Protein backbone atom coordinates (compact mmCIF):
# COMPACT_ATOMS: atom_id res chain seq x y z
CA UNK A 1 0.00 0.00 0.00
CA UNK A 2 1.44 3.37 -1.03
CA UNK A 3 0.69 6.33 1.21
CA UNK A 4 -0.36 9.74 -0.10
CA UNK A 5 2.95 11.17 1.07
CA UNK A 6 4.88 8.60 -0.97
CA UNK A 7 2.69 9.32 -4.00
CA UNK A 8 3.38 13.04 -3.72
CA UNK A 9 7.11 12.39 -3.39
CA UNK A 10 7.14 10.29 -6.56
CA UNK A 11 4.98 12.63 -8.62
CA UNK A 12 6.60 15.37 -10.65
CA UNK A 13 4.57 18.55 -10.42
CA UNK A 14 3.98 20.36 -13.68
CA UNK A 15 4.38 24.12 -13.89
CA UNK A 16 0.58 24.52 -14.00
CA UNK A 17 0.16 22.49 -10.79
CA UNK A 18 2.92 24.45 -9.04
CA UNK A 19 1.21 27.68 -10.08
CA UNK A 20 -2.10 26.46 -8.63
CA UNK A 21 -0.47 25.48 -5.34
CA UNK A 22 1.30 28.84 -5.11
CA UNK A 23 -1.94 30.71 -5.82
CA UNK A 24 -3.78 28.73 -3.13
CA UNK A 25 -1.01 29.34 -0.59
CA UNK A 26 -0.86 33.08 -1.27
CA UNK A 27 -4.64 33.36 -1.21
CA UNK A 28 -4.74 31.64 2.17
CA UNK A 29 -2.12 34.00 3.60
CA UNK A 30 -4.08 36.99 2.31
CA UNK A 31 -7.32 35.66 3.80
CA UNK A 32 -5.71 35.10 7.21
CA UNK A 33 -4.27 38.63 7.08
CA UNK A 34 -7.71 40.12 6.38
CA UNK A 35 -9.27 38.07 9.17
CA UNK A 36 -6.53 39.24 11.57
CA UNK A 37 -7.19 42.90 10.73
CA UNK A 38 -10.92 42.36 11.17
CA UNK A 39 -10.37 40.80 14.63
CA UNK A 40 -8.23 43.77 15.74
CA UNK A 41 -10.86 46.18 14.44
CA UNK A 42 -13.60 44.37 16.33
CA UNK A 43 -11.58 44.37 19.56
CA UNK A 44 -10.74 48.06 19.20
CA UNK A 45 -14.33 49.06 18.42
CA UNK A 46 -16.24 51.31 20.79
CA UNK A 47 -18.27 48.93 22.94
CA UNK A 48 -20.54 50.58 25.52
CA UNK A 49 -19.91 47.80 28.06
CA UNK A 50 -16.10 47.86 27.89
CA UNK A 51 -13.30 50.33 28.68
CA UNK A 52 -9.58 50.48 27.85
CA UNK A 53 -7.41 49.87 30.89
CA UNK A 54 -3.66 50.57 30.62
CA UNK A 55 -0.75 49.69 32.88
CA UNK A 56 -1.99 46.27 33.94
CA UNK A 57 -1.16 44.13 30.93
CA UNK A 58 1.09 41.06 31.17
CA UNK A 59 3.83 40.58 28.58
CA UNK A 60 2.30 39.44 25.28
CA UNK A 61 -1.31 39.94 26.40
CA UNK A 62 -2.19 43.43 25.07
CA UNK A 63 -5.39 43.97 23.06
CA UNK A 64 -4.26 46.39 20.38
CA UNK A 65 -1.68 48.81 19.01
CA UNK A 66 0.36 51.49 20.75
CA UNK A 67 3.00 53.93 19.52
CA UNK A 68 5.55 51.08 19.81
CA UNK A 69 3.75 48.47 17.62
CA UNK A 70 0.57 47.83 15.66
CA UNK A 71 -0.40 44.34 16.78
CA UNK A 72 -2.17 42.73 19.68
CA UNK A 73 -0.38 40.16 21.79
CA UNK A 74 3.13 41.59 21.35
CA UNK A 75 3.71 43.74 24.43
CA UNK A 76 7.35 43.47 25.50
CA UNK A 77 7.06 43.75 29.29
CA UNK A 78 4.61 43.46 32.15
CA UNK A 79 2.66 46.54 33.28
CA UNK A 80 3.84 48.83 30.46
CA UNK A 81 1.91 52.09 31.04
CA UNK A 82 1.10 52.37 27.31
CA UNK A 83 -0.26 48.83 26.81
CA UNK A 84 -3.99 48.29 27.36
CA UNK A 85 -6.71 45.65 27.44
CA UNK A 86 -10.49 45.88 27.31
CA UNK A 87 -12.22 45.27 30.63
CA UNK A 88 -15.86 45.64 31.71
CA UNK A 89 -16.85 49.22 32.63
CA UNK A 90 -15.84 50.19 36.17
CA UNK A 91 -13.22 47.43 36.49
CA UNK A 92 -10.11 49.46 35.68
CA UNK A 93 -10.60 51.77 38.67
CA UNK A 94 -10.63 48.71 40.95
CA UNK A 95 -7.26 47.36 39.71
CA UNK A 96 -3.99 48.55 41.25
CA UNK A 97 -2.04 50.69 38.75
CA UNK A 98 -4.94 50.54 36.26
CA UNK A 99 -5.23 53.74 34.19
CA UNK A 100 -8.41 54.38 32.20
CA UNK A 101 -7.70 55.38 28.58
CA UNK A 102 -10.16 57.35 26.48
CA UNK A 103 -12.07 55.38 23.83
pLDDT digit string, tens, across residues 31-89: 666 666 555 555 555 567 999 998 988 888 888 877 777 777 788 888 888 888 899 99
Is residue 16 pLDDT above 80, yes or no? no
Task: Tell me how many degrees the CA angle 67-72-75 measures, rounded to the nearest 5.
Answer: 65
Could you give the CA distance from residue 79 to residue 50 in angstroms, rounded to a whole number? Answer: 20
In angstroms, rounded to a whole number, what is the distance separating the alpha carbons of residues 26 and 57? 34
For the CA atoms of 15, 20, 25, 26, the dihedral, rounded to the nearest 10 degrees, stands at 90
Would you place residue 19 in the very low, low, confident or very high pLDDT band (cuts 50, 70, 90)?
Answer: confident
> Which of these, 68, 67, 59, lies nearest to 85 by C-alpha position?
59
Amino acid sequence: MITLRAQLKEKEFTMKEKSKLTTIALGSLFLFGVLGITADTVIASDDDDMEKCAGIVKKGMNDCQTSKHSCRGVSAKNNDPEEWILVPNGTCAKITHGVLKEK
